[in-house]
Amino acid sequence: MFAHIITQRQLPQACATSQPSDGLSLNCRQNSHRHLCVAIAAALSLTALQAHAAMDEQTYRELPVPDAAFEYEDYEVPQSEADTEQPASAEVGKQNRKVVSKEFIAKQAKLFAECTEVQLATARLACFDKVAEQGKTPSYTTTKQPVDLAKTFQSTLSGNPQVVFVEESSTITTDSSSAVAAELPQQAASSPETQSLDTVGLTQREAKVLESVGVKQTDIEKYTPLSLSYDLDKNSERGTWTVRPYRPTYLLPLFYTFDPNLGPSSPSQDTESFTSNDVRETELKFQLSLKTKVAEDVFDSSADLWFGYTQESHWQVYNEDNSRPFRATDYQPEIFLTQPVTADLPFGGRLRMLGAGAIHHSNGQDDPLSRSWNRAYLMAGAEWGKLSVVPRLWARVNNESSSSEDNPDIEDYMGYGDIKFLYDLPDQQSLSGTLRYNPSTNKGAAQIDYIYPLTENVNGYVQLFQGYGESIIDYNHENTSIGFGIVLNDWKGF
């Protein structure tokens, strides 16, 4: 497959056999010209790689597995050793090592091919990861150790309070690649964790493939939306202070509001009146949401510190009579801490995360349209198969006097918490949403988001909202709205 690449062993020989052209001679043995030879060889190699990548992908699919294994053999006899006589026993040993390598890699290639039959994304990624694990590829990320809540709670009740971490599961590693290939199915069949593999959403064939490879339920959980969003199983290779998706980043060119707020007000602010021409039903809505990990594995644990920023805007782009103004823009910076945990929940669920944070929410307007509030919250993350749930409970943090508050009754409408959920559907579709409710006032809101693939790089997005607080200027205005647009294809989180 990579026969066209010039290796480092081949460079001296290639340069030595090069002939002068047009009176110019290239002597690679001279130190002053050696870098030039390497640069030329590298340029030719990159050109060959680009041409090879542009070829039809069927070239790879049509390559038989034994031939692919032959090209990946990991033992090569140097030219200097090939010219020297070797004892018969040494030659036999080299041939045996070659045969073992071919057989092992051929088996790995077949396992990779079987993994492609698994349709569930998280299970398929876990299958690939388990097969590749046998190659002992070095990793630059740290595996997380979640807190075992059941054992921690039990030790506290017994009078010996301590934080108990889940023991790291051992991976299958042996000195001989042939031994790994031979023992993998037996170990997978005898592992108790494999027998408890959750087969919900899997066909009988897919479950058999996962069990033969040795995939456990904990392996699948490494690729769930919760785990990938908050690095619950291992630290991301992106490290700290790199931009990552947070809430969905989307663009809704068509966003229709059935009952626009023509008189935004609050108990402490005067009413600002608008006409139906000032605020039209149809507008453009977009949201930008990013987060970055500030610090990882803090407090000698697997906890991570994050900073997030979300900005949501309503743009009256179709209102040409009033210079297409921005009707509302919400700003929400926040900082929060996440701690991986593990605990069993009813109906086969698992608690995966606990966290705490603080958030500021405002619209940056002057009176009488100014709205703002600050909250401190606790949150958790749980999973039931394809369903992921993140509940939050918050308390308002008041830093203003009651006379200067922009919206003293905002909790009556926004409540004391919310629940976010995400459900994976077939064919890379997903259904997510946010629910809020205040039982004392019987007010709240529900937002449902549906994502479906349009092309390889673009996902369609449909948003439906009903209730109070679609934006902070409308925190006490009940409304129903629907929007159609696109969302970034790499968003898969909360």
Point out the residues that are catalytic.
360, 362
Helix axes of 204-213 and 121-132: crossing angle, nearest 10 degrees:
30
Query: Buried b / exposed e across 432-450, counting CB within 10 Å, b at 16+?
Result: bbbbbbbeeeebbbebbbe
Contact status, residue 343 vs residue 353, Cβ threshold 8 Å: no
Indicate the SS3 state at residue 490: coil
AA letter at 259: D
Query: Buried b / exposed e across 316-352, counting CB within 10 Å, b at 16+?
Result: bbebeeeeeeebbbbbbebebbbbbbbbeeeeeebbb
How far is residue 231 CA from its own chain's centroid? 8
Q: What angle do CA 66, 67, 69 make, to 5 degrees?
A: 65
Contact status, residue 112 vs residue 72, Cβ threshold 8 Å: no
The 3 state secondary structure assigned to 137-160 is: CCCCCCECCCEEHHHHHHHHHCCC
DSSP 406: S
3-state helix, strand, coil in the chain (%, to 5): 30, 30, 35
The tokens describing 418, both together, are: 């919310």
